[in-house]
Amino acid sequence: AQSVTQLGSHVSVSEGALVLLRCNYSSSVPPYLFWYVQYPNQGLQLLLKYTSAATLVKGINGFEAEFKKSETSFHLTKPSAHMSDAAEYFCAVSRGGYNKLIFGAGTRLAVHP
């Protein structure tokens, strides 16, 4: 069965510092992996997705993620945090042939001045 684990339900960084949000997955087949961002009381917005074309995936707002098959990881990074990055971030894996997503529990990112 496929699953997603996000390490750290809350992450706090200073403005300008590196952002690292961790995601590990389990999948019996090559996965499709996604990172979404959610601002309070809003829907989810796609940051980036991995579909096996390249292991380093660049997304919107300066975020990127690297697919590491040996570590079954898909960590999200941003070199320099901005106050506007404060939100909740979800990692997800596509399950089976019907595009059903399994989501991690989410990581809430706080950015301090």
Partner 1 sequence: DGGITQSPKYLFRKEGQNVTLSCEQNLNHDAMYWYRQDPGQGLRLIYYSQIVNDFQKGDIAEGYSVSREKKESFPLTVTSAQKNPTAFYLCASSIGGTGGDTQYFGPGTRLTVL
Residue type, 83: M
Long-range contacts for 48-51 (Cβ within 8 Å, ≥24 apart)?
Answer: 48/76, 50/74
**β-strand partners of 107:** 89
Per-residue string for binding with partner 1, 42-81, x by CB under 8 A?
xxxxx--x-x------------------------------
Comparing CB distances to partner 1, the nearer of 51 and 80 is 51
Which stretch, 17-25, 54-62, 76-84, 99-107, contacts partner 1 (CB under 8 A)?
99-107
Residue 101 interacts with partner 1 (CB under 8 A)?
yes
Q: Name the minimum Å distance from CB 49 to partner 1.
A: 6
What is the C-alpha end-to-end distance of the chain, expressed in Å?
Answer: 41
Is residue 81 packed enough to be buried (19+ CB in 10 Å), middle (13-18) or exposed (0-12)? buried
Positions touching partner 1 (CB under 8 A) are 9, 32, 34, 36, 41-46, 49, 51, 90, 94-101, 103-106
